[in-house]
Every structure is written in C-alpha cells, then in structure tokens.
Amino acid sequence: MAKIVGVAVSERLSAGLVVDHKLAGELRRFPEREDDKYALVEMPTEELVRTLCEQAVQAAAGTEGVSAVGVSLPGLIKNGVVEESPNLPQLKGARIETLLETQLRNHDLEVPVTVVNDADATAAGLASAHGRLDSTIRVWTLGWGIGYGRYPFMPGVWEGGHTVVTIDEKESYCGCGGRGHMEGIMGHRAMRLRFLDMEPEEVFEAAKTGVAKCVEFKRLWHKALAAATASSIHMAGPGRFFFTGFNVRFLDMGMLRDYLQQMVKMSSLQNYALEIVEDDPLLRVIGGAITAEQAVGR
C-alpha cells in the first residue's frame, strides 16, 4: 500500500497521510483559525513553501516508507512550474516542485513531489470516493474563482473558469482582465466587484424576495454555469459533472438543469448527470496523493 502525503492549498492549507487512497490519522490545517482567510496570500513565496513543507513533514511524522508528496494548488501548473495563480500571485513563475523537494530534503524527507491544479485534485478525490478511478470525472469548483477539474488528468491548460460565456462588452469582472468569462460572472471576487454595496450571499438572499437586479443576476449566474457545462459536453461528450466549492450554496439545480436542457439538444449528448458535493479539503488532499502516486508509477 502506497503511503503518500497529500497537501491542499486554497484559503487554508490542509495536509494528511494517505494510505490506500484513505486518510490515515488526522487532517492537519493551517492556519488553525477559521476566520484567518488571508494568511497564505500574504506570505512571501519562501515562507509559503516552508510552511507547506513543515505541514507535510508533520503529516508524515512517525511513518516509514512515505514514497511521495502530492500538492494541489489553485492556478495553472505545467511541468512543475506555476505559470499563473491569481489566488496566490506570489507563486507565479515559481518552480514549485523543485522548491518543495529541496525544502523537504532539509527536513530529511527525500521524495518526489507532484503539484497539480486544485480542481484536478478534487476530481481525482471524487473519482476515488465514488469508486470511479476507471471513469472520466469532471468538476466545477465554485469559490473565489472558478475551477474546472478533470480526472483522469490530461495534458492541457484546462482553465475552464475562463470559458467565454457571453459577448457582452460590459462583462469584464474576471480577475485575468478578459471579457465575457464565466469567472467574471460567477467568481466570488467578481460578484463583490459587481455589487459593491452587497455581499454575494446578500445578492442571492435578495433574489429570493424578488429584488429585480438580484433576480436577473441569479439567472445570469446559472446561465453562465450552464453555458460552460454545455460547452464541455459538446467538446468532450456527456458524463458525470460534480459541483463543489464554498459557493455551491447558491446553486439551484432545477434552474441549472432547465438552462442546460435549452443548450444541449442532441439526443446522443443528453445522458449527462449532475451532482452537488460538499466542499471538503479532504477530497483535494486525497486527490493530490492519488496524482502523486500515479506520477511515481509512470
């Protein structure tokens, strides 16, 4: 049984020892305070790398035969390099796998490190949790930004959150600066920019009471998700889609299904399945470990 440390980095850092695709022991968290959402984004690169390695080492403490470390990060990761990371901008350009392996050696843990996009790690974790490691899984993570994950992993960019879902020139709220992006409508940051006088949760609450601008935005939000999902179906075929992230609380599955049915009309593409799952960092920890295990086995 492979013993691999999985580490997930988002607003907080989670780490644990994964044995046979299951958590062995406790799931470590940093920072410990739930309300400290900006601790990681405020860290310089060197300090963030050091903190990540310290958590990984503590997760592996007292265990012999650890064979790898798998790390999930938000952003575009290619060949061990963070090419883009809007949520952790200090990591842009970092040769993250090399940095982590070097730092781990300083802690007497000499193992290969595999770094993967956090949405891809979520997809791998879901595939394991549902016993579908031999199937294709797609997942949308609805949070500060919008992530698109796929299992099994395939080379490519896969920045699905930047799928263009509208040609309205006014839609320019995406953090990357692009127009018409799904993330520019659905991302938490983008929603706060759009409604400067309301938090996203207040917008969706107001939609329930019939406030016109909020009702219209709720429709736009769901249309954006339906459009991006329909594009994935038309390009890669139907299948199972999962939806997770802290803003999955805003998702009205009936509304999403209605819009999706309007967009996907070919009968051969209509056998898709949609499912909401709880936002759980353990999925990303296990998914990162699975990705590292598969990388070592190649």
Torsion of CA 28, 31, 34, 40, to 10 degrees: -120
> Over 70: is that where the pLDDT of 139 sits?
yes
Residue 228 contacts residue 241 (beta carbons within 8 Å): no
Alpha-carbon dihedral angle through residues 34, 187, 50, 92, given to the nearest 10 degrees: -170
Mean pLDDT of the chain, nearest integer: 93
233-257 residue pLDDT tens: 999 999 999 999 999 999 999 999 9
| 45 and 161 co-located in one domain | no
pLDDT tens-place string over residues 81-106: 999 887 888 999 999 999 999 999 99
Summarize the confidence of residues 162-173 as an average pLDDT.
96
Does the pLDDT of residue 265 top 70, yes or no?
A: yes
Residues 148 and 254 in one domain: yes
Please determine, for residue 37, whether its predicted confidence score (pLDDT) is greater than 80: no
Do 10 and 100 belong together in one domain?
A: yes
Q: What CATH number did the domain enclosing 218 receive?
A: 3.30.420.40
Cβ count near 247 (within 10 Å): 22
pLDDT at 34: 67
Q: CA angle, corner 28, sides to 10 and 7, nearest 5?
A: 45
Q: Are residues 41 and 92 in the same domain?
A: yes
**176: pLDDT confidence band, cut at 50, 70 and 90?**
confident
Q: Do 185 and 53 belong together in one domain?
A: no
Quick check: 164 pLDDT over 80? yes
Structural domain of residue 7, as residue ranges? 3-117+285-297
Residue 35 has pLDDT above 70, yes or no: no
Can you read off the two tokens belonging to residue 161?
């959150």
Q: For residues 193 and 181, is the Cβ–Cβ distance under 8 A?
A: no
- pTM across the whole model: 0.87
- Which residue type, as a one-letter code, is found at position 246? F
217 and 268 in a common domain:
yes
Residues 227 and 167 in one domain: yes
Q: Are residues 205 and 238 in the same domain?
A: yes
Bridge partner list, 164: 181
Residue 297 has pLDDT above 80, yes or no: no
Number of domains making up the chain: 2
Q: Do 153 and 271 share a domain, yes or no?
A: yes
Residue 279 pLDDT:
84
User: What pLDDT is attached to residue 86?
Assistant: 77
- The verdict on 109 and 128 lying in the same domain is no
Write a three-state SS string for the chain. CCEEEEEEECCCEEEEEEECCEEEEEEEEECCCCCCCCCCCCCCHHHHHHHHHHHHHHHHCCCCCEEEEEEEECCEEECCEEEECCCCHHHCCCCHHHHHHHHHHCCCCCCCEEEEEHHHHHHHHHHHHCCCCCCCEEEEEECCCEEEEEECCCCCCCCHHHCECCCCCCCCCCCCCCCCEHHHHHCHHHHHHHCCCCCHHHHHHHHHCCCHHHHHHHHHHHHHHHHHHHHHHHHHCCCEEEEECHHHHHCCHHHHHHHHHHHCCCHHHCCCEEEECCCCHHHHHHHHHHHHHHHHHC
The reply to whether 266 and 133 lie within a common domain is yes
Q: What per-residue string of b and e applies to 269-290 under the rule 16 or more CB within 10 Å gives b?
A: eeebeeeebebbbbbbbbbbbb
> What share of the chain has pLDDT > 70, as a percent?
98
Same domain, 184 and 207: yes
